[in-house]
Chains A and B, each alone.
Chain A
C-alpha cells in the first residue's frame, strides 16, 4: 500500500530549483532511505512534506486519498507525519519530561487550562524516555543535555507523536556507538509495528543495513530508486554521490 505519494513537486529559491518536478511513492511499513550529495534537496523535500516550507506546485497524497497542495505545519501531525531535524530542535527551556508531555497535551483550549496530565500520559512519557535512556534525566532542562542525548530526546519526541510516517533527518550523525544502537533498535521496532520510516542519511553502510528501498536525489531531481543493493551499484549514483 502506498502511504505517501508526491506528484510533480516543485520548490524554488530565488529562481533556483531545490526540488524539481519530483514524483515519489512511499510504501507503508518500509524503511526508505533518501540519499544524495549535499544540496541535492533531501532536507528541502522533508521540509516541504512537513509544512516547514510552502510547496510552489505539485501534490502530496496521503493514504491514497487525502490530496494536499498546501500543508500547514500544525496539521502535519493530524496526517500522521512527524519528523526530526538535521540540527536538533528541542524545547530548550523545558524539562526532558515536558518535552515529551507537551506532545501529549490536550489541544482543546478549555480542557488544556483545567486538565492536568494523567498517570496515563506519564506512563507513555516514562516508557519512551526509558527507551532512549533519558528517564533519569527527566527533570533536567533540555538545553543542559549532551549532543547525543539531545538527538535521542528529539527522536523520543517523535515517538510520542504516535505517527504513521517518521522522517528522520540524519538520526545517527554524531552519536556514540551505544546511542547508534538505540536509534537502530527504535527504527527496527517502528518497522515491526507497521510504521513507515524515511531516513535521510549519509552513511551508506546504514542505508544498506536498514533500508528496504532507496531514493537517490541530485539537484532536486530523482536520480535513481530501488533496493539499496541495486541502487548503490548504479554508475550514475556512484558518480553523483560517491564522486568516483
Chain B
C-alpha cells in the first residue's frame, strides 16, 4: 500500500491546525512583542467550553461552538485588560510579560484539570458515524475536511483584515512601531485588546477543531502553542504568510519523518527543525 497520499493528507491537516495557532499567536505577538505562553491553553479552553455546553448541558452543538469561540476570545481580552495592559503601562519588560503569561498558563491549566479532570475528552459524540472522504488515494474524516476549510477561511479573513481594512492598517502600524502609532493618534491599548480577543478566538477555534478530531486534555495547550511558535519562527516572525507556510512545513516534516522513524520522535522533529532554522535561517523563510 502506498502511504504517501495519506501522509500528505495528514500533513495538510496538521499544517491547518498549526496555521490557526501560528496566525493567532503571531497576531498577538506582532502588536505586543512578547511570547504569550497562555495562548495555547486558550485554544483548549475553547474546546472545553464546547465540551461543557454540548456534552454536559446538552446544548445545541452549533450554539456551543459559538460560545466556545467567543469565550476563548473573551478570556484573552480579560487577560489583557487585567494583567498584560497594566504591566505594559508600567513599562514591564517582555521577560516579565512572558513570565506572567507562564503563570497564567499554569493557573488556567490547573483550573481545567480541576473542573474536567485530566481525562482525554472528545467533542464528537459518534466518531463512527463520521463521513469518510477519499482523496488522492488517502482518506479524510468529515472533521478533518472542516479543519482544512476553516484554516483556509481564517487565513483569507486575516489577510483581508490586515491588508484591506483601516483597522488592519492600525494593527500593522502598531506592529511596526507602537510609539509612533500612538503619536499618529492610534489608541494602541484598545487595538491590542481587540487583537487579543481576535487571536484568542482563533486559538479557540483551533482547540474546538482538535477536540472534534483527536480530543483534548488540559495540558495539551503548551505543546500546541510550541508547535505554533516553531511555525512562526521557521516561516518568519511578523509575516502572516510566513506563519501559514511555516505551519505546513512543520506539518509535512513531522508526518513524513514518522514514515521512517518512530512516532515518539514527532515532537523532537519539530524542535530539530526549529534549531536548524535558528542556526541557518534565523529570520525564517519569508523574511529577507
- Which residues of A line the B interface, CB within 8 A? 50-52, 72-74, 76-78, 82-83, 85, 89-94, 98, 101-103, 105-107, 109, 111-117, 157, 161
Contacts and interface: CB of A to CB of B under 8 A. Distances in A.
A93 B172 contact: yes
Contacts, number: 90
Interface string B181-216: 111111111100010000000000000000000000
A109 B194 contact: yes
Q: Most chain-A CB neighbours within 10 Å: which of B164, B166, B175?
A: B166
B177 interface: yes
Given A77-B185, A107-B187, 11 more contacts: A85-B180, A91-B173, A98-B169, A102-B173, A106-B166, A109-B190, A112-B166, A112-B167, A112-B170, A113-B165, A161-B185
Nearest to A82: B183
Nearest to A93: B176
A91 B172 contact: yes
A105 to B, nearest CB: 4
Count chain A CB atoms within 10 A of each CB in B183, B186, B194, B238 and give the residue with the most.
B183
A91 B190 contact: no
A76 B166 contact: no
Nearest to B238: A93
Query: What are the 3 closest A-B residue pairs judged by CB atoms, nearest first?
Result: A73-B182, A77-B185, A112-B167
Of the listed residues A51, A73, A89, A111, the one surrounded by the most CB atoms of chain B closer than 10 A to its CB is A73
Contacts of B164: 116
User: What is the interface of chain A mostly: helix, strand, loop, or mixed?
Assistant: loop
Interface residues of B, number: 26
Nearest to B172: A94
B184 A114 contact: no
A76 B170 contact: no
Contact of B177 (A72, A89, A101, A116): A89
Contacts of B190: 109
B180 A89 contact: yes
A73 B91 CA distance: 14
Given A82-B183, A109-B190, A93 B175 contact: yes
A114 B273 CA distance: 40
A77 B172 contact: no
B179 interface: yes
B173 A76 contact: no
A105 B169 contact: yes
Contacts of A102: 169-170, 172-173, 184, 186
Contacts of A91: 172-173, 176-177, 180-181
Contacts of B176: 90-94
Contact of B169 (A51, A85, A94): A94
A98 to B, nearest CB: 6
